[in-house]
Structure 1
Amino acid sequence: RRKRKKDRKKERKKKKKKEKKKKRKKEKKKKKEREREKDRQRERERKKERKKERKKERKKERKKERKKERKKERKKREKERKKGKERKKERKRKKEKEKERDKEKKERRKERERKKEKERKKKKKE
């Protein structure tokens, strides 16, 4: 009887030990899984962050491009305006020259008329 009791005790101990081992194994597995999940989460976060950064960069680039484009446009408009002003000045100058020429022509005509008048008067006198 005592032997049986001892045996049973031994068995129980063995069983307990086995259970403990099993439990430990399970816990280890759970821990590993948790760690893996954490890693996956971190990876997801990193990915998200990278995506955000890339978006930011692209936005910055687009802004830069737009700025460049606007500057170019402004320069172009400025050039055009300058050209327009120059053309206007040129037209004005030409008009002035034309006026001057007309004035001179008129003056010469008047002079000729006076001379002719003088000649006529002289002939009349004689």
Structure 2
Amino acid sequence: MGRERERERERERERERERERERERERERERERERERERERERERERERERERREREGERERRMTEREGDRGREREKERERGMEGGREREERENERMRERERERERERERERERERERERERERGKTDEREKKSERECETGGGAGREREVERETSSSREREA
């Protein structure tokens, strides 16, 4: 009789543990749904920022286009009034732009020349290094040249002895 009640209590405790595990799984699913909602809100904020950025760019583009249109209308008005100043001013602006471009090209050419000069300096340095190395070998008697020189001296002294 007592063992039966004990087994019943054990089964009840097991059912309670199972219900607790189920509640924990449900809480975890709820946390996951909340994380997903947060990710969705973040994606929505990102889309909103992107939309605003495109609007600003569009507005900037529209203003630039309007200004271009205003300039065109202004030139047209000047022509209508018989003012050639607009064309002259435009020609002066174009000439200044061409002059700036020529100056940039001259600067690029000067930079290329400086680079060529640096390259020549490096080459000269390498040549100087090779010459110094060769001189050091001669002074220290190093290298194959010295061996040939010793052989020549030896053979000529043998010839004298003979």
TM range (shorter): 0.5 to 0.7
The reply to whether residue 93 of structure 1 matches residue 53 of structure 2 is: yes
Give the 3 Å change call, closer, same or farther, for CA 121–78 of structure 1 in structure 2.
Answer: same
RMSD: 1.5
Write the distance in 1 (CA, Å) between the matches of 2:30 and 2:40: 15
Write the distance in 2 (CA, Å) between the matches of 1:123 and 1:53: 101
TM-score, with normalisation over the residues of structure 2? 0.49
Sequence identity percentage: 11
Describe how 1:101-120 pairs up with structure 2 within 5 A: 101-120=61-80
Query: Which of 1 and 2 has greater Rg?
Result: 1
Give the 3 Å change call, closer, same or farther, for CA 119–85 of structure 1 in structure 2.
Answer: same
Which residue number in structure 2 is paired with residue 52 of structure 1?
12
Count of residue pairs brought into register by the alignment? 84
Describe how 1:64-79 pairs up with structure 2 within 5 A: 64-79=24-39
Give the 3 Å change call, closer, same or farther, for CA 55–118 of structure 1 in structure 2.
Answer: same
Write the distance in 2 (CA, Å) between the matches of 1:118 and 1:52: 98
Segments ≥4 residues shifted beyond 6 Å: none
The reply to whether residue 43 of structure 1 matches residue 10 of structure 2 is: no
Give the 3 Å change call, closer, same or farther, for CA 60–123 of structure 1 in structure 2.
Answer: closer
Write the distance in 1 (CA, Å) between the matches of 2:57 and 2:47: 15
Structure 1 unaligned runs (5+)? 1-40
Which residue number in structure 2 is paired with residue 29 of structure 1?
none
Write the distance in 2 (CA, Å) between the matches of 1:83 and 1:122: 58
Write the distance in 2 (CA, Å) between the matches of 1:81 and 1:63: 27
TM-score, with normalisation over the residues of structure 1? 0.62
Compare relative contact order (CA 8 Å, sep 6+) and give the higher one, 1 or 2: 2
Instruction: Report the alpha carbon displacement of residue 122 of structure 1 after superposing the two structures with TM.
Output: 2.6
Does 68-77 or 41-50 show the bigger shift?
41-50
Write the distance in 1 (CA, Å) between the matches of 2:63 and 2:79: 24
